[in-house]
Structure 1
């Protein structure tokens, strides 16, 4: 199933070059904590920071070799877009490609992630899920590594 989904997505991207994914925006409760997690644990770099006209603050992050952005959005109480935060309701998950999913799974847990689904192999890929400090689901995915003899 994973191979089929990846094949379909790759074919879609090849055919559909006029529209490209730019970033995923997520609401966060503690901006500094989220910045620390995504920069130190997930290895992302801050690309842009700013204040929204409506009073919110945004920080855009990017992984070194990825064209994708992650936008952290913080809306203080009393601002136009503030809502009571419910962990994970605005987002399904964020996916991070890994060379060694099992190794990264342990590393991100030690960096503050909460285990959600332990690594498993499926159709030539290894997958795992963790939750970030705000409860957002993170998928770790990569090619299944050959066992060392």
Structure 2
């Protein structure tokens, strides 16, 4: 099956042959406290840590997370797992600059307050009501609940650093 892009001003008619094999791999968010962020992303959203990389000279660590399918097996060998991690799609990289967790006043800009920039990441869920009940049971902070505002088919929650996470149910995104 071939893919035909939607056409808008600025969109190339065809992807250049030189980009064959290019794949969007991950998005990076800086986090203040990796323990708190890893607890949120692994418990509340079910993500798993694929790989951790430490850079001692520069005093930061990278945590690569994804939501593999239950029957998916990941390489055990460290080098193979690293290669596999950087070949996949839909990975979240959490970057921790060492020491930020000890500074009570430290915080990152979420991109949604002024000046605006980065907006959000998004998770698709099989059932929006069940997801909202799960978030409520885990005291997740909301930007927007599904019943608020005009867009009744989406929610926005916040992670421990205040980054916005859109929550959608695919079936509700296409108007009938």
Query: How high is the TM-score relative to the length of structure 2?
Result: 0.62
CA contact (8 A) 1:112 1:132 kept: no
CA contact (8 A) 2:146 2:154 kept: yes
Query: Per-residue CA shift, 1:34-82, capped at 9, x if unaligned?
Result: 011101110001100011252101110001248311011001249xxxx
CA contact (8 A) 2:32 2:108 kept: no
Mean CA deviation greater in 84-93 or 101-110: 84-93
Residues of 2 paired with 1:34 and 1:94: CA distance? 15
1:70 to 92, 96, 112: 92
1:48: which partner in 2? 51
CA contact (8 A) 1:26 1:91 kept: no
CA contact (8 A) 1:109 1:115 kept: no
Query: Would you say how many aligned residue pairs link Structure 1 and Structure 2?
Result: 128
Query: How high is the TM-score relative to the length of structure 1?
Result: 0.72
1:107: which partner in 2? 134
2:166: which partner in 1? 139
Unaligned runs of 5+ in 1: 1-6, 79-83
Query: Per-residue CA shift, 1:72-102, capped at 9, x if unaligned?
Result: 1001249xxxxx5334137311100111112
SS in 1 for 2:146: strand
Q: RMSD in angstroms over aligned alpha carbons?
A: 3.0
CA contact (8 A) 1:91 1:136 kept: no
Are 1:91 and 2:118 counterparts? yes
Mean CA deviation greater in 18-27 or 32-41: 18-27
Are 1:130 and 2:157 counterparts? yes
2:79: which partner in 1? none
Are 1:28 and 2:31 counterparts? yes
CA contact (8 A) 1:50 1:57 kept: yes
Unaligned runs of 5+ in 2: 70-87, 101-105, 112-116
SS in 2 for 1:119: coil
